[in-house]
Amino acid sequence: MYLGNNQIHNSHSIDILGVTFISKTNFNQYVDNRITKCRNSSFSLSDVGMCYLGVMSDTKSYLFRAICQPTILYSLDAVDLNNNMIKKLENEQGGIMKRVCGIPKRSHHTQLLQVLNRSSVNNMLIKSYMASGKTIPGTIQVIDS
């Protein structure tokens, strides 16, 4: 395809203001972009002590909640996520928390998130759906009369 003398390249996806528009109905690339952005935001916090073992875990949990969590959840309530995508997001969330707390990456992160008072990605998405009044995927919406 040409516009004048310039060739126009087709693309299957484009990023506009942090949202990835994809020609396919598969949102794997969008989830991967959210994971990359969350990982980058957690690494950018290393200068303020996010990866330093001497910083209290409450401080690290607060930094994660204030910076990384909104980054990983950005506009996910508008995307049709399957269980594999949610599991991928939860694994990244747990991986970041293990990395900043100095816990080996082969350890389970479910109890770590409970100790740090962090909700799983799935629970946060359910809260987001309920707050917006949308139907939670895979469930039936109950309307109060």
Going by pLDDT thresholds of 50, 70 and 90, the confidence category of residue 133 is low
Give 143's pLDDT tier (boundaries 50, 70, 90): very low
> Hey, how many other C-beta atoms are within 10 angstroms of the C-beta on 79?
16
Domain boundaries of the chain, sorted by first residue: 25-132
Per the DSSP assignment, residues forming a β-bridge with 14 are 21
d(CA 38, CA 36): 5
Cβ count near 38 (within 10 Å): 24
* Residue pLDDT, tens place only, 31-62: 888 889 888 888 888 777 777 777 787 888 88
Most confident of 5-14, 36-45, 57-66, 130-139: 36-45
Say which DSSP state 68 is in.
I
Question: pLDDT exceeding 70 applies to what percent of the chain?
Answer: 79
Q: What is the pTM of this model?
A: 0.67
Strand partners, 7: 2
Tell me how far apart the alpha carbons of residues 125 and 120 are, in angstroms, rounded to a whole number.
9
Residue 88 tokens, joined: 């991928």
Q: Determine the Cα–Cα distance for residues 50 and 106; give it in Å rounded to an integer.
A: 20
